[in-house]
Structure 1
Amino acid sequence: MENLMHSKVYVGTYAKYNNGSIKGDWIELNNFSSIEEFYEFCSELHSDETDPEFMFQDWENIPSELISESSLSENIFSIIEKVSHLDYKTLEAFAAWISIGNHDIESDDIDSLFESFEDDYQGYYNSEEDFAYQIIDECYDLSDFVKSYFDYESFARDLFMSDYTYENGHVFRNS
């Protein structure tokens, strides 16, 4: 996901492939703002065919949920646009959140997807236990004496059984 701004796809056609040719070209997706614009360019690239059936023979830096040999998700251009405005840490967190698999980046509304991410993201922590320490400090008024006896490890385990997910240092609320 971090390299999505540098995503590209090798576009050929099934007709050329079936006739023994893999002629096509690498196309950088960040040069387009919509699927229509992309397909128009592909049509110009393969203008020697009347109605080219595009074949995506290879790709780089594109999540597998967004591409297959015969299709490219319409969402990819909106996602590229959105992630281009994110700083590295936020982009890393978004990639971790997507990898959890609770959301469908291929078909979910992009604005809703990013709103859900912002709602779910709790921050970066060195461990689940560090997150538990913060929850106790922010939500409970425990004396230092009681805190010294509190089992943070067990509390963290309980938090992450159902309410939260820890992925590559990032904590997300399960929604």
Structure 2
Amino acid sequence: MTEHTQPTFKQAASTGLRIYVACLAAYNNGYLHGRWIDANQDPEAIQAEISAMLQTSPIPGAEEWAIHDHEGFDGVELHEYSGIDRVVALAAFIAERGELGAKVLEHFGGDIDQAEAAFDEYAGRYRSLADFVQEITEETTDIPPTLIHYIDYAAMARDLELNGDVFTVELGFEDVHVFWSR
């Protein structure tokens, strides 16, 4: 189940990446007033939706807002006062790379630059890290047939990960994506 190419990413018309933006003036006065907004659009469109929501606030002249919830970011943290540009950048990254992109972003604490660099070091999709180690070992080393059954690929895989040479992202049973940590 090895794939040697870059992963293919899901791109759907509706990504499910949304933020719930609340009016703080209403919130502070005991009203729940806000709107779910598609995060996978340009910053100006999001700002226009926020402005429209604030215009319909039960508190006249409302100007302040905060993100009170989000969906589709698969573990990537958005904070209450995350800027619109950050929301758009995260949403675009996840929309382009799907669940794998979200998990890599989560691995790097939401750092988009590190996550993008990690995809340059993508090694492939395997059933396990041990399968990856077995493949690269057998491709790069002449192993005498009498020794091949004595090699502990699981231990080699564990050491590779413990030494920080690779990191993995598991998307499901026997669905392990390997990245070099260079």
**Shorter-normalised TM-score: what interval?**
0.7 to 0.9
Question: In the alignment, what sits opposite 1:98?
Answer: 105
Consecutive unaligned residues of structure 2, counting only runs of 5 or more, are: 1-9, 171-175
CA pair 170-154 structure 1, distance change in 2 beyond 3 A: same
Note the alpha carbon deviations across 1:100-159, whole angstroms, 9 max, x for none: 23x543xx44xx742x12223211222222111111112212232232333323322221
Higher helix proportion = 1
Distance 1:172 1:37, change over 3 A: same
User: How far did 1:63 drift?
Assistant: 5.3
* Residue matched to 2:125: 124
Query: Which stretch shifts more, 129-138 or 62-71?
Result: 62-71
Aligned residue pair count: 162
Displacement of 1:12 in angstroms is 2.2
Over 3 Å counting, the alpha-carbon distance change for 1:85 and 1:57 in structure 2 is closer
Structure 1 residues 60, 154: closer, same or farther in 2, change over 3 A? closer
Task: State the one-letter code of the partner of 1:25.
Answer: R
1:156 aligns with 2:157: yes
TM-score, normalization by structure 2: 0.72
1:5 aligns with 2:7: no
Return the alpha-carbon distance in structure 1 between the equivalents of residues 50 and 115 of structure 2. Answer: 28
1:24 aligns with 2:31: no
Q: Does the Cα contact within 8 Å between 1:33 and 1:78 map onto a contact in 2?
A: no
Q: Is the CA contact 2:16–2:38 (under 8 Å) kept in the aligned structure 1?
A: yes
Q: Is the 8 A contact 1:66 1:73 kept in 2?
A: no
Consecutive unaligned residues of structure 1, counting only runs of 5 or more, are: none
Partner of 2:42: 33
Structure 2 CA distance for aligned equivalents of residues 157 and 57 of structure 1: 40
2:70 to 59, 62, 70: 59
The equivalent of 2:6 in structure 1 is none
- Counterpart AA for 1:45: M
Cα 1:167–1:57 change in 2 (3 A) is: closer
Quick one: distance in 2 between partners of 1:161 and 1:123? 19
Show CA shifts across 1:65-121 (max 9, x none).
Answer: 5522233452332343344344xxxx33323323323x543xx44xx742x122232
Q: What is the distance in 1 between the residues matched to 2:80 and 2:104? A: 26
- 1:44 corresponds to which of 49, 52, 57: 52
Per mean C-alpha deviation after superposition, the further-off stretch among 163-172 and 129-138 is 163-172
Partner of 2:4: none
Secondary structure at the counterpart of residue 51 of structure 2:
helix
RMSD: 2.8
Taking only the aligned residue pairs, the percentage that are identical comes to 26
